[in-house]
């Protein structure tokens, strides 16, 4: 994909000309080659040196992959790094052998080798792809990109934009800090950076027109940072979460996008020509402007569109709520946590001993330090499973289940008026969630925290479906 095409898809400000009101166009890839290799990216603008990154085809983010729902994805990944890698297709209900978890579903792709991923994504929506080998470093260096499976009948918008939001831990010369897997990050909030970006750009400006309607696909590719996004005087309508459509609602509060999560919104640009409108993140103590919309002087139209914004609701296997296999899952550990001991390699150890091994977290008092450990859940294909996940730690955890979507039923004992499908729910400190899913996809699947340092420090488990 050439540079101009890439910028049109991600909606960067350098797009020339004006895009007519259209249904989202499709780029069909009969076979795509992605090469993992070093690259240089101007993350923080012309006043600073380019940052050395690892990227798919040397880019950050990697080129958007877009296919129509029902078509096959065929991707050949070549590894030109000096270390092994693999590619996980986040949020896709795909065959186990294509899941991209090195050491579990495939052998790692060694330097100079290739691996071919072929599958038909069963669901339309907003997804992403990323490394799954030493992910806290490889994603932290830029190995990720968007994957869009287009609906048969998408809402009519003027532009369909992708925002891959991220944060980077950079030094004064704009180079990436090499303290990946630092002990503080593993035991606290994870690797939180000092330079947040949208599509690989710090404090970029997004040019818009008054009267324009945008579909904004927000993908959080951060190692651990969560975002709470406010759109100033604009009122976004949320139409999908984690790639799965919901009944649209107008967000009156900041939109939470946890690490690895996705949120699709519709934005009607109602500002005055020549004005600006910030997008503010307020998840942490000090709010900051993530980016700004800048209105062109000439409006697109006098009033916003009236066409529908609804998507077709998901058609996923519904769990049988009258016949559930129930599992209580407790997340424990980390700094300021209550974990005193846990099983490590099958033996009970005190927290001090566990920490000396570089681990800090446990699920049901078991430290997830290996991919060949006994599964947390072992069930037959077709079983309806209910998970009650309780976060007894001092930090948020986006808990990702590979190969499945889960229906979020309740939070802190309060049933949701409309349960929704998720694959990476963000569970806040002290919070409890009840979720259910049909274990219909056979294989050994990862269930882990997508604050990547937490996973590396023990916050992971296996779900086995036979």
Q: What is the mean pLDDT of residues 381-388?
A: 98
Q: pLDDT (tens digit, 9 = 90+) per residue, 248-290?
A: 999 999 999 999 999 999 999 999 999 999 999 999 988 999 9
How high is the pLDDT of residue 30? Answer: 61
CA 428 to chain centroid: 17
* Domain residue extents for the chain: 3-152, 164-295, 325-465
How high is the pLDDT of residue 338? Answer: 78
Q: pLDDT (tens digit, 9 = 90+) per residue, 390-435?
A: 999 999 999 999 999 999 999 999 999 999 999 999 999 999 999 9
How high is the pLDDT of residue 323? Answer: 96
C-alpha 145/C-alpha 89 separation (Å) is 10
Do 206 and 291 contact (CB within 8 A), yes or no? Answer: yes
Query: How are strands ordered across the β-sheet holding 65-68?
Result: 65-68, 144-150, 125-131, 87-90
| CA nearest to 424, candidates 298, 186, 215, 243 | 243
Q: pLDDT (tens digit, 9 = 90+) per residue, 442-458?
A: 999 999 999 999 999 99
* pTM score, whole prediction: 0.93
Residue 336 pLDDT grade (very low, low, confident, very high; cuts 50, 70, 90): confident
Q: What is the mean pLDDT of residues 84-102?
A: 98
If one compares 336 and 107, the residue with the highest pLDDT of the two is 107
230 CB contacts (<8 Å, ≥6 apart)? 254, 255, 279, 280, 281, 282
303 CB contacts (<8 Å, ≥6 apart)? 211
Q: What is the mean pLDDT of residues 294-322?
A: 94
Pseudo-torsion of CA 75, 55, 200, 132, nearest 10°? 70
Do 165 and 197 contact (CB within 8 A), yes or no? Answer: yes
C-alpha 328/C-alpha 11 separation (Å) is 43
Q: What is the mean pLDDT of residues 156-164?
A: 97
Quote the mean pLDDT of the chain. 93
Q: What is the mean pLDDT of residues 194-208?
A: 95
Please name the fold of domain 3-152: Immunoglobulin-like (2.60.40)
Query: How are strands ordered across the β-sheet holding 262-268?
Result: 195-198, 159-168, 213-220, 262-268, 237-241, 244-250
Q: Which CATH superfamily is domain 164-295 in?
A: Cupredoxins -  blue copper proteins (2.60.40.420)
How high is the pLDDT of residue 248? Answer: 97
pLDDT of 112 higher than 80: yes
C-alpha 110/C-alpha 295 separation (Å) is 47
Percent of the chain, pLDDT > 70?
Answer: 94
CA max distance for the chain: 69
Distances (CA, A) of 97 to 75, 151, 252, 442: 14, 25, 42, 10
Q: What is the mean pLDDT of residues 324-331?
A: 98
pLDDT of 79 higher than 70: yes
**Identical fold between 164-295 and 325-465:** yes
Distances (CA, A) of 444 to 9, 109, 388, 389, 390: 35, 19, 20, 20, 23
C-alpha 315/C-alpha 302 separation (Å) is 37
From first CA to last CA, the distance across the chain in angstroms is: 40
C-alpha 383/C-alpha 400 separation (Å) is 19
Residue 175 pLDDT grade (very low, low, confident, very high; cuts 50, 70, 90): very high
Q: pLDDT (tens digit, 9 = 90+) per residue, 27-74?
A: 444 689 999 999 999 999 889 999 999 999 999 999 999 999 999 999
What is the SS3 assignment for 56? strand
Burial of 388 (0-12, 13-18, 19+ CB in 10 A): middle
Q: Which CATH superfamily is domain 325-465 in?
A: Cupredoxins -  blue copper proteins (2.60.40.420)
pLDDT of 1 higher than 90: no
Number of Cβ within a 10 Å radius of residue 275: 11
């Amino acid at each position: 994909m050439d540079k101009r095409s890439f910028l049109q898809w991600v909606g960067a400000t350098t797009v020339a000309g004006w895009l007519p009101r259209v249904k989202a166009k499709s780029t069909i890839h009969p076979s795509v080659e992605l090469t993992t290799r070093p690259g240089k990216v101007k993350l923080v603008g012309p006043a600073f040196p380019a940052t050395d990154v690892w990227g798919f085809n040397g880019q950050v983010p990697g080129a958007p992959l877009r296919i129509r729902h029902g078509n096959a994805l065929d991707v050949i990944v070549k590894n030109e790094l000096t270390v092994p890698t693999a590619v996980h297709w986040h949020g896709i209900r795909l065959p186990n052998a294509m899941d991209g978890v090195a050491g579990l579903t495939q052998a790692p792709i060694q330097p100079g080798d290739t691996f071919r991923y072929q599958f038909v994504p069963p669901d339309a929506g907003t997804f992403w792809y990323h490394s799954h080998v030493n992910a806290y470093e490889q994603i932290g260096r830029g190995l990720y990109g968007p994957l869009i499976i287009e609906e048969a009948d998408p809402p009519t918008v003027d532009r369909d934009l992708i925002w891959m939001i991220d944060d980077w831990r950079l030094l004064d010369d704009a180079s990436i800090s090499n303290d990946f897997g630092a002990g503080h990050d593993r035991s606290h909030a994870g690797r939180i950076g000092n330079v947040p970006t949208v599509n690989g750009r710090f404090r970029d400006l997004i040019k818009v027109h008054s009267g324009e309607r945008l579909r904004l696909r927000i993908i959080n590719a951060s190692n651990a940072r969560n975002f709470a996004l406010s759109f100033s005087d604009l009122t976004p309508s949320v139409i999908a979460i984690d790639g799965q459509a919901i009944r649209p609602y107008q967000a009156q509060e900041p939109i939470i996008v946890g690490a690895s999560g996705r949120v699709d919104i519709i934005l009607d640009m109602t500002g005055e020509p020549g004005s600006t409108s910030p997008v503010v993140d307020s998840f942490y103590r000090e709010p900051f402007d993530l980016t700004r919309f800048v209105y062109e002087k000439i409006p697109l139209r006098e009033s916003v569109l009236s066409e529908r914004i609804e998507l077709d609701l998901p058609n996923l296997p519904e769990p049988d709520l009258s016949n559930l296999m129930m599992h209580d899952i407790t997340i424990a550990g980390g700094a300021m946590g209550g974990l005193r001991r846990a099983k490590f390699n099958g033996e009970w150890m005190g927290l001090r001993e566990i920490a000396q091994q570089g681990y800090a977290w446990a699920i049901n008092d078991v430290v997830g330090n290996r991919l060949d450990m006994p599964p947390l859940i072992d069930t037959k294909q077709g079983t309806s499973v209910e998970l009650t996940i309780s976060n007894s730690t001092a930090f948020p955890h986006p808990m990702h289940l590979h190969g499945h979507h889960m229906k979020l039923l309740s939070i802190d004992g309060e049933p949701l008026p409309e349960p929704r499908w998720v694959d990476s729910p963000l569970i806040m400190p002290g919070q409890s969630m009840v979720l259910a899913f049909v274990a219909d996809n056979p294989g050994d699947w990862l269930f882990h925290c997508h604050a990547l340092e937490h996973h590396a420090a023990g916050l992971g488990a296996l779900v086995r479906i036979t």
